[in-house]
Structure 1
């Protein structure tokens, strides 16, 4: 992470020489956002993987800045550099950035983990899904793959009619062979939260409700499931470092450090308008919602 820290230090050195109010980024209009982004853009666009379009990444970053209006320059640059380092867009799908008071924070979504899995040449496809109460499904661990698992969603029913979500599952096809199916129910997810999440424990201890486990349980459920899949797909340095960054984010929770964060703020919030709402995650996308198919806090 030393390279990332050096980039943040270099990117914020110019800002430190300019008069600011409490070190807070004060850009109230689109032109101001764009000017700030253009003056610092090379720091994170240079960190992008080759396959990521710099112009598109910059456009997505620009759309996020209004929600970070009260955040420090350093925390914004840290979050953008983290997104760039892993080649994940801060769009609330692959990764998300949310303000915790004056600190912008980064954290990957489950789609971000899946995006990094796809970058391994042996990974053919990755699938994530929800099983609802009235869906047709069957799991027989002793049967040969892929006949051991079957899920047929009730496409003739709405999500509400299909009933509550009872399981999250994920699997990958690797060099023509299907991986183990990772399945996670609500109780198992709660146990993961209680055993591993320092951020959740801190929120409970301080009687706060700003942990993503409290504001967006389903998103954490999805990510916990996909994070378990990481253990059975071909590994990579990027995936390992993403898990470490994700754990660092949870460890410090609402007092973010070098790489951390969560989501985007309300779309109707104007620049300069103070936000008093608790941070919350984007909804975990349903399969077929337009998201690329595709965490665990262990």
Structure 2
């Protein structure tokens, strides 16, 4: 069974097998915590005002063991990206994924929804899965909101409701409902095959370790929510995150939204360039459209 993105970022917290004693390198863990603490101001200074700094650092500490093989510079860049967008690296809003020795920022669908909520005109954002035995209907020529209907079978378990057949997302904006984004599995696979360089690379090298391989449903959900971005008011920071997400998929490295070079201060006396950040957008920031690919 393949692991999921959440499994990968939280692998260090998994329970050991009963026949294998737990081995913890306390010295390495202590060094990691000291390293993170020494750079705490990098991250906390980049956070938007509404994000709790103590909680963010607590979540960052929890994922450090899973990044033990990654370079300090890539971990710094990935966590800075999380902080810049005000997203926790918890595997739900965002994840920091190890690819060899590189830690990579990966926004998740809940992170996109979080940034949508920060626009003053967006009242609410909804994402859902339609399963095989659910009651649902979509009539694009009907007036909103009568064009879409979904009623899950609450009398059944998820397994009894059958496999997922459709992802959907919509928003309420100033009292009106947006277009409903519908994405079935074949459409998600087409998006993966056309746009994801990380998927193609993982297929070609046989590692099959891209997010599309390890957690297809998470990427399916994110693809639906990304399409919703095109039909709702978007902030400048949301446009930047779309670009950062694309850059990370293209290169498997830190996103280009981090302007400048982040070099770990392992030699305190050495001159180090600082990251140059765009001004941190707060809730209610201005709007701009993102003209990206149809993902």
Question: What is the distance in 2 between the residues matched to 1:228 and 1:27?
Answer: 44
The 1-side partners of 2:26 and 2:71 are apart by: 11
**In structure 2, how many angstroms separate the alpha carbons of the residues matched to 1:204 and 1:154?**
37
Alpha carbons of 1:104 and 1:28: their partners in 2 closer, same or farther (altered >3 Å)? farther
Bigger RCO of structures 1 and 2 (CA < 8 A, at least 6 apart): 1
| TM-superposed deviation, 1:259 | 5.8
Corresponding residue number in structure 2 for 1:120? 119
Map 1:21-40 → 2, pairs under 5 A: 28=27, 30-40=29-39
1:164 aligns with 2:163: yes
Deviations 1:107-146 (A, max 9, x none): 1000000000000011111000000000001111111111
Question: For 2:205 and 2:29, how far apart are their aligned partners in 1?
Answer: 37
Cα distance, 1:33 vs. partner? 3.2
Q: Distance in 2 between matches of 1:47 and 1:218?
A: 30
Aligned twin of 2:199? 200
Matches for 1:248-263 after TM superposition, within 5 Å: 248-253=247-252, 256-258=253-255
Three-state SS of the structure 2 residue aligned to 1:125 is strand
The match for 1:56 is 55
Match of 2:81 in 1: 82
**1:72–1:151 CA distance, 2 compared to 1 (3 A):** same
Alpha-carbon shift at residue 32 of structure 1 (Å) = 3.1
Aligned residue runs from structure 1 range 102-121, under 5 A = 102-121=101-120
Q: CA deviation at 1:258?
A: 4.2
Q: 1:30/1:199 Cα in 2 relative to 1: closer, same or farther (>3 Å)? A: closer
Aligned residue pairs total 236
- Superposition RMSD on alpha carbons, in Å? 1.8
Superposed CA deviations along residues 82-122 of structure 1, whole A, max 9, x for unmatched, are 00010000000000012112111111000000000000011
Kept in 2, the 8 Å contact 1:136–1:151? The answer is: yes
Q: Corresponding residue for 2:231? A: 232
CA contact (8 A) 2:245 2:255 kept: no
What is the CA-CA distance between 1:28 and the residue it aligns to?
Answer: 4.0
8 Å CA contact retained: 1:27, 1:33: no
SS at 2:245 equivalent: helix
Q: Which runs of 5+ in 2 are unaligned?
A: 1-24, 258-292
Q: Does 1:42 align with 2:35?
A: no
Contact 2:168–2:182, Cα closer than 8 Å, also in 1: yes
Query: What's 2:20 paired with?
Result: none
Give the CA deviation at 1:77: 0.3
Match of 1:101 in 2: 100
Shift, 1:177, TM fit: 0.6
Is the 1:78–1:259 Cα contact (8 Å) retained in structure 2?
no
Whether contact under 8 Å (2:103, 2:254) holds in the other structure is: no
Give 1:70's aligned residue. Answer: 69
TM-score (normalised: structure 2): 0.76
TM-score (norm 1): 0.76
Question: 2-side partners of 1:176 and 1:258: how far apart?
Answer: 35
Deviations 1:164-183 (A, max 9, x none): 10000000000111000000
The alignment status of 1:142 with 2:132, answered yes or no, reads: no
